Structure 1
Amino acid sequence: MKICGCEISAQEIRLAVCQLDDDGAPVMKPIKQTRIEIKDDNDDAQLSACLDEIRAFSAEHQIDRFVIKSRARKGRMAGGPPTFKLETLLQLNESTDTRFVHAATLASFGKKADIDYPEKLPIYLKNAFLVAAYGLKQ
């Protein structure tokens, strides 16, 4: 199974595609596109283009499931409107299943699980990789 871990921040989705190796450890697949961004979330054409980009990404990498790190809905750490639109666009991709993982659950998993992060993993993809690893282990 191929899982795409997603962390949504501001107006972009950070992507890490992983699957389990023969030993049952999550392995990140090398991909060229690690972000999907939307400049103006009030522009219908850009929202439609972003959905098309998500669908193309999913098909190209044969993604079975998107797993998204949930964000607060209200309060100091709440996500802004663009982040919720990006979540919705991921869910509208009919060819893949979409699941969410709460930030506290992910933090606990990161502490308890013995996860080997890939060498040269960019800092901005660390959470996306952890989300994908969590999705694979569930």
Structure 2
Amino acid sequence: MWRRTAGDGGNGGGGRNGRGGRNGRGGIELALVHRPKYDDWSHPKGKLKRGEDPLDGALREVREETGMECVPGVRLPTARYESQCRPKEVRYWAAEATGGAFLPNSEVDRVVWLTPEAARVRLTYERDRELVDALLAALGTPHAP
């Protein structure tokens, strides 16, 4: 999930502490969630309900975990990996946040908005860092090293 920052010039800039918009460059910020059960930082995600459309489920999970409403964009690469000896598949979309407010819950105790550069540093898993690059490419935003 992403949002525009003040003075968005599409250059992926940010401000002090990666919170964006304070240096006049503008850009985008990405939402990351902290899951206390795993003590990790990741993109919002979750399990589909039986028979649920994947996009509808993704939007529901983002809303449940972050309190944010989103407008879905293009489909991003699917992540496939094993967790606790079980195969996992997570489908992602470039969803733009349109409003809402976070309330800590049993699955997610913190949400942070970070520049893409800061998000890459904060993310726990390499596969999630790769998703940052895919999002920036989908949005036509230059990749920062």
Q: TM-score band (shorter)? A: 0.3 to 0.5
Q: Could you say which structure has the higher strand fraction? A: 2
TM-score by structure 1 length?
0.37
TM-score by structure 2 length?
0.36
